[in-house]
Structure 1
Amino acid sequence: MDAGEVKAVRRRCARVLLVDEDDRVLLFHSRDYMGPGVEYYVTPGGGLDAGETLEAGAVREVFEETGLRVAPDTLGPVVAETEGVWSDGPDLVIHSRDAYFFLRVAHFEPVRDGLEAVEREEFTAARWLAPAELAAVDALVFPAPVACLLKGLRAGAEPAPPVRLPWGAWTWNADRDWTPTERAAILDR
């Protein structure tokens, strides 16, 4: 890659909204990883391996990131989707298509043993957020806000087809450092 050239990657992701018996959702908290004072939350999940189904990727990611083992058939249908561009630096842009599953689980303490090295640096804590706590930080959830979606899911509404979530992830802007993609021009191609 030449200096100044930006690498673009397409990525398919599976995410799981884990909600406990007290209606709290598990999110990973990050502070100062992207820059001093930059704070955000991340839903459990991540990129699929080659040939992996959404369900298999979701189950693998939940285990790697939390230590919780779940069976693919407990996930149910995809309840939401989002798509957009994000980056974690000036040399890489990722176009991501993310599918979300919803899963009720008994409260547990996440085990961080399976996190990748970068995730151990990025995720400063695993937090169970109550509905009001989630509503207060929803704009900071990567890759998309989930409070409204979870309100319906907690009440038993299962959307068909999946809900389309507005993309809310961040991208690098050389002039202003980090900026939400909603307000930033993504690369002109």
Structure 2
Amino acid sequence: MPARSDARCAWLISDGFEPRNWMLALAPLVGWRADGATGVGWGLLAALFTSVLPSVVLRLGERRSYWSDRHVRQRRDRLVAGPVVLLSVITGTGLLYGLGATSAVCALVAAMVAVLLVLMVITFFWKVSVHCAVAAGALAVLASLHGPWWALSAPLVALIGWSRVRLGCHTVAQVAVGACVGAVVGGVAFALLR
């Protein structure tokens, strides 16, 4: 029974902290901190291109059997789904910059592009955890905005990593590399661009 309980807990963590949920919450929050209600509007536009549209694409791909599930667990399937998600995020980035959005929101989506590009390159050779990359990147952005105390939230990334390993979706190395890519690439890109 404990193994079944562990698996259920792992699914709840994995689904609750999936990449789309991070961006749905983070983009408006970054916008609010930078520019109040106007920033929230820009954050919602960013969330449309970094969370909502990619989720729709992943669901459609699952329904049409382009990949087995919305988490796109097979590395070869990620080579098909990844560029489509990346295209959505790049489009959103271009629109935000072109429309003169709040700089912090622009920096957030540009940092996401940087992380996704690195993850795509790695995916040609090896499967890496997007869950951990996005979570670690989001926490790095929050630390950049609100101070180093946010580093104390790092155990949350470890918990997400545990869930991915427990579900058999990744190895420990794959979640560790994902977390490092998200924190370093996402954190540095956001800090430089904002």
Higher relative strand content: 1
Higher relative helix content: 2
Give me the TM-score of the superposition, normalised by structure 1: 0.31
TM-score, structure 2 as length reference: 0.30
